[in-house]
Amino acid sequence: MMSYWYAIPELYRDLFVTSVLIVIFLLALMGAVAYVTFAERKIIGYMQVRIGPNRVGPRGWLQPIADALKLLTKEMILPSKSSHFLFRIAPVLSIVPALGAWAVIPLTEGVQFSNINAGLLYVLALTSMGVYGVIVAGWASNSKYALLGALRSAAQIVSYEIAMGFALVGVLIASGSLNLTDIVNAQAGGITHWYWLPLLPLFMVYLISGVAETNRAPFDVAEGESEIVAGFHVEYSGMGFAVFFLAEYANIILISALTALLFMGGWLSPFEGYAALLSIPYVGVHLFEFFSLILKIPFVDVLLGAGPHWFFIKTSFIIFCFLWFRATFPRYRYDQIMRLGWKVLIPVTLVWIFVEGVAIAMQVGPWFD
């Protein structure tokens, strides 16, 4: 058996192994996406003093699978006046960028499918492609609600993409690299070195833009039920709708992962950089004894050190924030959304980029060296 395997040229073996890993990774990602929808219903349920879905499986844990099976067997309506080809490919245009961007996301140092120099540029390029799915779906549906929803969504997405791009420029100035691994490593040195603190305004801008980019509450006028029903995907049913739905949640996970990588130190441990505490007289000795005791417990040193688990925890936290926002904030009006994007976030980022650029070029500031 093994001899057959080694008879295959190395190149094809590598390609095969890579493909299998990618399939496993993407299926796991889709599973995660399905369970983010479940988490959303549960979390928002508890925030509204309900218990959320609890009928399918133990405590409702099989709910996403039941939803998927239900949508799989539902009729896929093809509106008679729609542009059939565009109508069918729009969901695909929406989900491929949301999944494809993961090709360069490092889970921890060295664990990623491709470590390219232009990693962040690739991610930004792919996330920008997502707007095509929205536009094409709205146009192809040939329905007033869908078209209005698509216009609103598209205008909102591109507006916030500018603020988001400027926020990323700030990260690039601070890290001096487009490579995602390098960006994380540039944040090494403890929780106060992660860019959320030195680049606090940009972090806020990025987070707000991320929520607006994914058309989530409180920026979800594109699917404001009381105004234009479901927005651009109003004509979609069955699996067509499901794929749009998955794309939206895949985008949430992607944006959260990017926030964790760019502003929250990715896989770096928050317990890093406190060695100085041990040199404090008297207290330091006790701290040292405490830590040497703790670290004797198996795996604790692994858990406290840098690793993919921190990346998952941080990503999950930001996903939780996305759901929290939805449960907390009332919906913005459309003109307020556009005003926030153009008249608040863009000027803030411009000013901060200027400040940061001066600090770097003059080589001042404790954070920028």
Partner 1 sequence: MCGPLLCTDRGIIDNYKNYIDMLQNYVPILIFLAIALVIGVVPLIAGMLLSKRVPEVAKDSPYECGFEAFEDSRGRFDVRYYLVAILFIIFDLEIAFLFPWAVALRDIGIPGLLAMAFFLTILTIGFIYEWKKGALNWD
* Region 94-123 residues binding partner 1, contact defined as CB under 8 A: 95-96, 99-100, 102-104, 113-117, 121-122
Told to check if 331 binds partner 1 by CB under 8 A, we report no
Residue 83 — φ and ψ, nearest 5°?
-85, 110
Nearest CB to partner 1, comparing residues 16 and 290: 16
Retrieve residue 6's tokens: 């080694």
Retrieve residue 118's tokens: 């232009």
Of the candidate residues 4, 55, 75, 110, the single one contacting partner 1 (CB under 8 A): 75
Question: What letter would DSSP give residue 369?
Answer: -
Please state the closest distance from residue 161 (CB atom) to partner 1, in A.
7
Q: Residue 31: in which H helix or E strand, if any?
A: helix 10-47
Q: How many residues bind partner 1 (CB under 8 A)?
A: 86
Of the candidate residues 38, 87, 166, 332, the single one contacting partner 1 (CB under 8 A): 166
CA–CA separation, 114 and 106 (whole Å) = 9
Nearest CB to partner 1, comparing residues 184 and 346: 346
Please state the closest distance from residue 258 (CB atom) to partner 1, in A.
15
Nearest CB to partner 1, comparing residues 177 and 316: 177
Place of tokens 């490593």: 185
Please state the closest distance from residue 190 (CB atom) to partner 1, in A.
22
Q: Which amino acid is at 43?
A: I
Site for partner 1 in 181-200 (CB under 8 A): none
Longest dimension (CA), the chain: 80
CB atoms within 10 A of CB 171: 24
Question: What letter would DSSP give residue 230?
Answer: T
Please state the closest distance from residue 91 (CB atom) to partner 1, in A.
6
CA–CA separation, 154 and 157 (whole Å) = 5
Told to check if 158 binds partner 1 by CB under 8 A, we report yes
Of the candidate residues 59, 84, 286, 339, the single one contacting partner 1 (CB under 8 A): 339
Please state the closest distance from residue 274 (CB atom) to partner 1, in A.
28
Site for partner 1 in 116-155 (CB under 8 A): 116-117, 121-122, 128, 139, 141-148, 151, 154-155
Site for partner 1 in 2-41 (CB under 8 A): 15, 18-19, 22-23, 26-27, 30
CA 255 to chain CA mean position, Å = 2
Per-residue binding string, partner 1, 240-269, x by CB under 8 A, is: x-xx--------------------------
Told to check if 59 binds partner 1 by CB under 8 A, we report no
Please state the closest distance from residue 272 (CB atom) to partner 1, in A.
24
Instruction: Tell me the window of 216-224, 312-320, 323-331, 335-343 that interacts with partner 1 (CB under 8 A).
Output: 335-343
Nearest CB to partner 1, comparing residues 113 and 325: 113
Do 262 and 168 form a contact (C-beta atoms < 8 A)? yes
Q: Which amino acid is at 309?
A: H
CA 153 to chain CA mean position, Å = 18
Place of tokens 């404790």: 366
DSSP character string of 101-157? GGGG--SBTTBSS---TTHHHHHHHHHHHHHHHHHHHHHHHT-HHHHHHHHHHHHHH
